[in-house]
Structure 1
Amino acid sequence: MSNIRGITGLSDLKNEVQILLSLGLKALNQMINLELLVDLDQDNTFAYQAIAALRSEYLKLEQQKTIITVVGTMKAGKSTAINAIVGREILPNRNAPMTAIPTLIKHYKGRQQPHLILTDIAREPIVQLIQDLQVAFADPCHQHKLDQLRSDQDLFMTVEKIQQDIQVIDEVVGEVEILEFMILINDLIRISPVLDLEFPFDLYQDIERLPIIEVEFIHFADSDEFHGQLILIDTPGPNEAGQPHLRAMLQQQLQHASSVIVVMDYTQLKSEADAQVREDLKEFVNTMDHRIYALVNKFDNCDRNGMKQDELKTFVEGLTQGLIAKQYVYPISAKLAYLANQAKQSYLLHGTLPDAENVAWVEDFYVEAGLRRVAHRTTEHILDGIEDLWQQSKFKAPLDGVIKASHQQSLLVILDSAIDKLISYVHTFNQMRVKKFSELCKGIYGQGAAMNTDHIGVMTDRIFNKLQIDMSSLEKSAQLLKQSIADLASA
């Protein structure tokens, strides 16, 4: 075991955490190889998930990558909240669900035009599905299914593009083009089952396989300091499109998170869908000691009879059974923040706003800013309206307290996330090991035989003679590191 007492700064902490992650991965792999975990599940699913999560944490440390997973139910305003964080319309605001598979949004300094990047391993399943659909469309037996699709004009436009051999390129540039790509993916999901095919959701569990949108986050444009990579994960809502696989996909993406933002609908706090998200978070909370935040969206709907800010924070803490502490609850209006950002950027670039007849958000801005009458749309009133909407949105608090703080303290956040996951998984495996030893002893000494610690100790020595690390010692070392991280964070 390495010398934790010698830690003097972040660099030492990073080295120590990586050493422990490596030792933990080695021990877990050996446990699988020795078939010691069959009491948990026959195929070691949990063990493999733990190994994948710890490997992900190691890579995040190597690349100083802070990952904030954003979750929420359909229509909670998750896409609008992400647009407000980024400061521009990266994700489409539509009534229909548009996040078919998890999508990464990465702050890329200086990149004004958003670029959606697809690696080969992300492209190949989509290309293969399109080829399979082309074969299915050409089959005379499926003619009645094509007629069925023809009844949906928008959907059939995608069918025709597939028949004309649509190409899936590795880089999509521009907001409109990215929207078209997302529509394609959503249409593929809807078309496939009609032709008895399945969209390959299981191939998009790994974070390395996900599409990534690179764009400069407007609120970080003036920052010259390098704090590592800041990445948001936009996840499909677990209640979208009635797709049962989405919950499993959500749980998988939570495993990649350095921190989590839960977007909740102020008007639907007790809905069944929000309850599902809370249950998913409860399953995940064992690997995160904190860093779970709530953006309670649509707080601008609060009237004189509604819950006010302090009451709401206490309510959400109770609703989540303490999972989200009230100091991490932020009542906001993502729509007002989004409109303020859009108007501000347009005014900075062009000195005016676009024609409301051509750009949908402009009329929304005028309405929310109290500028319905054209005569009131002077420069002074527009700038005042931008500032008023930003203040009313209450978005500055989570932007500073969650997003900017996570970026500025990225290495501490990543270290804390890694050590939390290591402690959680090692603790779980330690409990599994005791359970397995008890079962083995019962088999050797009989059901009624007394099983004292000496017997269990003998079995420990025999079964773990090939293991090079004691998991209990590893957990203790991880706990010491966690305290070191906390000390540096408070310094």
Structure 2
Amino acid sequence: MHENSITILQEEARRLLDVEIDLLERMQAEPGVVVEEQDGGHQTFSRDTIGKDIEMLRGERAKLESLEMVLAVVGTMKAGKSTTINAIVGTEVLPNRNRPMTALPTLIRHTPEQLEPLLRLDNNAPINDLLGQLYEVCRSPAGQQALDSLEHTDDMLELLGMIQRQERFGNRYEGPEAIFDFLKNLNDLVRLSAALDVEFPFSSYGNVHELPVIEVRFAHLSEMTEAGGRLTLLDTPGPNESGQPHLRKMLQDQLKKASAVLAVLDFTQLKSEADEQVRQELEIISETCRGRMYAVVNKFDQKDRHGDSAEQIQAFVADTLMGRRLKREHVFPVSSRWGYLANRARHELANGRGLSADHAWVADFGELVLGMGWEESIDNAEEVLRRADMLWKKSLFSAPLDNVIRMAHGQAATLAIASAASKLVDIASRLNRFLEVRDTALAKSSLELEEQINSLLNDVEQVKSLESESQEKAKKVLEEIHTEMGEIFDAIRKGIEGEIEAEFKAGKASEKKQAKARADAQKSLSPMGVRSLFRAFWGFPERDREGFGYEFDESHPLIALSSKEEAETLVKAIENGVQKIIADGEKIMAHDIEILLGKFRESFSQNIKGEANELIKALNERFNRSGFAVDIRLPDTAPLSFKYSASELLGEVIDSRRRPVTRYRRSSGAWGTICSWFNTSDWGWESYETTEGYFEVDINKIKKRINGSVDMLFEELLETTSVTIKAPLETGVHQFFEQLKYTLENIRSDLAQSLLDKQNSRDEQQALAQRLAGLKRNVPAIQRDSEELKNDVQPSIEEAVA
């Protein structure tokens, strides 16, 4: 949506919110209009509920004023995601390490008054409880054994010391060093939990308000006004980083809610063997973030004169890598490192601080922009600023930053307007119904009102009957879906077993070939002694103690290969085959489930909803007025996805081993030397024992890993089905009928209040009728404008969340 259109709709939403709040407050103040609920009734507006409605509208008003723009940043491995975030912020808030650093999503919020970064984690109890559990496990024999096999880096030793001292995480860390240490320990805590088989409390960090948040002023935004809203970055684990089903579902949910999504790609890897992996990862992201996704191609400063131009890179990423899921103008070749260094230098100078040569980043910046002898010029603030501006321009970072933030603002505004419009329409329709029923009822006799109330009670019974019928249909559909999934997963398991068996045979063939080659080599190297001559003379076959026939076993689950490359090729072939089987199964399952859900939606829409609408039509006719209708739709179910990367399926299944072998060499001393002169094949030789390296692939371990992953996959799919199909289906049916019954109950309670109004004097009834007529005078216009606002913003919101 155009920025000017957003502003116009935003102003209209503000106006309507103010009008509805004013009307509700007037109703609240007028005598006899909004009263206490009687005998357990549920009036459309009562003394208890109207205040909550006013607060809700005020909340929508506040959201329009302070828009929260969430820019989710995702990145493939080593693409420079942390450097990109640091470039946006203008200071180093995230550490750069060679291994994945984002165990939990982390928020980085632009806070103008916060010059030094401050990390808050109010929800620190779950990880502190985990530290206590790990303390007990580390003291057990099994824990000690697990620790012995763990890689003891300095960082891991630091965390183990923290656990041993029974220290706990705080809820506040100020300054880069303290933040780095916390994030580093948090990531190592995830690794340690996995190694000790203790579950990390991912489920306790499923909502945004439960995540760590870093507050700091973004240098690039320091000169901008706050009228546009507040920008928050969401640092996410990459598609190949988390390996946690809990995180995957949580991330998909957060990416759906984000105002915009920024994918960070590595320029140096775009056309390498990693191309396919990058494409698969981005496909997963783009499915969730269609229409709101941008990409920065980092490390563009490493392009040489033979490399692709910026335009060629944009075309390649948008058209080839992303299959036209991304517009070319949404792809930005940049240098995040240059952008970070330039932005940080400008930030320091703008705050009146000089650049100290003692800092590592200053040395990087100085060497880059000032060259050799940079120390002599680093104190020249004017020249340093000029060079920083030049570096910022060359980094090409300004374009994505401006465009993406503008997009984030527009998206945040659209979501806020849509939310407000939905609430406005709901309140306006309830106002219209409430005031109309109360006003009309005053002109009716008590007998007529009692008849209407009794008719409504009969309507409620009909609704309950329809609800039971609909619940039975929904239950049947869910049973069919569960059966369908079980059958497809059985087929997947059989396919995987066949794939592993085929690759096992291929691996054994390679092992056999190598074993035979070693046996032949052994024959050619070993001397032929008297016993060998004797066996050859009588025609007995030569036996190889360490060669083919002894060490090769066709049925043994271990495959021993000479090189790591051959072992990795074998494992990769299994991974690829398994991935294809799962992908094919997913397509079949998604197709079949969609057909089942489509049939249910069609049945619900035509039969159940049709009968409900007939009931409402009869009710409207009884009240002899128009404009009352229930239009509640079942929520759409999200498409199922259970994509796993190969590393998640198998992990480390190749072991490096050494095996003993017997080799031969000339005897030391004079005898060996003399024999060598005559080139003897039997005399003057000695044997010796040594070892040679090989790489072992354990098929049983592979089967166990894959079966475990498939079991987890099936459990996760059942859980996903519960979240994406069962819950929305049951909730949708329940909400439909609850709202229908609640609407009927509202009208019944409003009529019951009108019966009480009839007990007042004629003058009091006339005065109340005048107040009701005055209040409802502007309601039709409010309702019409609210519905127009909702219709205007709806296409944009559907495009945004599609």
* Interval containing the TM-score (normalised by the shorter chain): 0.7 to 0.9
1:454-473 correspondence runs (5 A)? 457-462=606-611, 468-471=630-633
1:70 aligns with 73
Give the structure with higher Rg (CA). 2
- 8 A contact 1:149–1:155 mirrored in 2: no
Give the TM-score taking structure 2 as reference length: 0.46
Give the TM-score taking structure 1 as reference length: 0.73
Superposition deviation, residue 172 in structure 1: 1.3
2:196 aligns with 195
1:322 aligns with 324
2:300 aligns with 299
- Indicate how the Cα distance of structure 1 residues 354 and 480 shifts in structure 2: closer, same or farther if over 3 A, else same: same
Q: Does 1:93 align with 2:96?
A: yes
After superposition, the C-alpha distances for 1:319-364 in whole angstroms (9 at most, x for unaligned) are 2122221111111110001111222233444664212xx4221222
1:54 aligns with none
Q: Which amino acid in the other structure matches residue 481 of structure 1?
A: D
Question: Where do 5+ consecutive residues of structure 1 fail to align?
Answer: 1-6, 18-56, 423-429, 441-455, 487-491
- 8 A contact 2:108–2:232 mirrored in 1: yes
Q: Which amino acid in the other structure matches residue 307 of structure 1?
A: D
- Indicate how the Cα distance of structure 1 residues 321 and 272 shifts in structure 2: closer, same or farther if over 3 A, else same: closer
- 8 A contact 1:258–1:417 mirrored in 2: no
Superposition deviation, residue 153 in structure 1: 3.6
1:156-235 correspondence runs (5 A)? 156-235=157-236
Superposition deviation, residue 391 in structure 1: 1.3
Q: Which amino acid in the other structure matches residue 458 of structure 1?
A: N
Q: Aligned with 1:202: secondary structure? A: helix
Q: Aligned with 1:213: secondary structure? A: strand
Superposition deviation, residue 186 in structure 1: 0.8
Q: Does 1:342 align with 2:344?
A: yes
1:28 aligns with none
1:110 aligns with 113
Distance 2:418 2:254 in 1: 14
1:382-461 correspondence runs (5 A)? 382-403=384-405, 406-407=408-409, 409=410, 412-415=413-416, 434-437=598-601, 457-461=606-610
After superposition, the C-alpha distances for 1:376-407 in whole angstroms (9 at most, x for unaligned) are 63626533431221111011112222225644
- 8 A contact 1:239–1:273 mirrored in 2: no
Q: Aligned with 1:116: secondary structure? A: strand
Q: Which amino acid in the other structure matches residue 123 of structure 1?
A: N
Distance 1:473 1:195 in 2: 41
Superposition deviation, residue 126 in structure 1: 0.6
For residue 286 of structure 2, the aligned residue among 282, 288, 291 is 282
After superposition, the C-alpha distances for 1:38-80 in whole angstroms (9 at most, x for unaligned) are xxxxxxxxxxxxxxxxxxx999668521111111112111111
Superposition deviation, residue 412 in structure 1: 2.9
Distance 2:367 2:635 in 1: 62
Q: Does 1:309 align with 2:310?
A: yes
Q: Does 1:482 align with 2:646?
A: no
- Indicate how the Cα distance of structure 1 residues 63 and 129 shifts in structure 2: closer, same or farther if over 3 A, else same: farther
- 8 A contact 1:265–1:298 mirrored in 2: yes
Superposition deviation, residue 178 in structure 1: 0.6
After superposition, the C-alpha distances for 1:15-45 in whole angstroms (9 at most, x for unaligned) are 989xxxxxxxxxxxxxxxxxxxxxxxxxxxx
- 8 A contact 1:336–1:389 mirrored in 2: yes
- Indicate how the Cα distance of structure 1 residues 252 and 164 shifts in structure 2: closer, same or farther if over 3 A, else same: same
Superposition deviation, residue 113 in structure 1: 1.2
- Using the TM superposition, name which of 181-190 and 272-281 deviates more: 272-281
- 8 A contact 2:318–2:327 mirrored in 1: yes
Superposition deviation, residue 415 in structure 1: 4.1
Q: Aligned with 2:125: secondary structure? A: helix
Superposition deviation, residue 114 in structure 1: 1.1
Q: Aligned with 1:113: secondary structure? A: coil
Superposition deviation, residue 235 in structure 1: 0.3
Distance 2:360 2:105 in 1: 27
Alignment size in residue pairs: 411
2:355 aligns with 353
Output the aligned Cα RMSD.
3.8
Q: Higher relative contact order by CA 8 Å / sep ≥ 6: 1 or 2?
A: 1
Q: Aligned with 1:112: secondary structure? A: coil
- Indicate how the Cα distance of structure 1 residues 67 and 432 shifts in structure 2: closer, same or farther if over 3 A, else same: farther
2:256 aligns with 255
Distance 2:313 2:175 in 1: 39
After superposition, the C-alpha distances for 1:146-179 in whole angstroms (9 at most, x for unaligned) are 3344743431221111121212212111111111
- Using the TM superposition, name which of 387-396 and 149-158 deviates more: 149-158
Q: Which amino acid in the other structure matches residue 631 of structure 2?
A: I
Superposition deviation, residue 417 in structure 1: 8.2
- Using the TM superposition, name which of 81-90 and 201-210 deviates more: 201-210
- Using the TM superposition, name which of 141-150 and 193-202 deviates more: 141-150
Superposition deviation, residue 9 in structure 1: 3.7
- 8 A contact 1:67–1:257 mirrored in 2: yes
Question: Where do 5+ consecutive residues of structure 2 fail to align?
Answer: 1-6, 18-59, 424-593, 617-628, 637-786, 798-802
After superposition, the C-alpha distances for 1:110-138 in whole angstroms (9 at most, x for unaligned) are 1111111112xx21211111111112123
- Using the TM superposition, name which of 377-386 and 193-202 deviates more: 377-386
After superposition, the C-alpha distances for 1:191-214 in whole angstroms (9 at most, x for unaligned) are 112222021223322212111111
1:116-135 correspondence runs (5 A)? 116-119=119-122, 122-135=123-136
1:3-18 correspondence runs (5 A)? 9-13=9-13
- 8 A contact 2:124–2:169 mirrored in 1: yes
Q: Which amino acid in the other structure matches residue 64 of structure 1?
A: L
Distance 2:174 2:13 in 1: 39
Distance 2:792 2:233 in 1: 27
Q: Does 1:373 align with 2:373?
A: yes
2:47 aligns with none
Distance 2:596 2:11 in 1: 33
Distance 1:76 1:297 in 2: 7
Distance 1:224 1:8 in 2: 19
- 8 A contact 1:150–1:156 mirrored in 2: no
After superposition, the C-alpha distances for 1:254-300 in whole angstroms (9 at most, x for unaligned) are 12211111111112225244223322223214xx5x23211111111
Distance 2:373 2:240 in 1: 40
Q: Which amino acid in the other structure matches residue 387 of structure 2?
A: G
Superposition deviation, residue 252 in structure 1: 2.8
- Indicate how the Cα distance of structure 1 residues 145 and 229 shifts in structure 2: closer, same or farther if over 3 A, else same: same
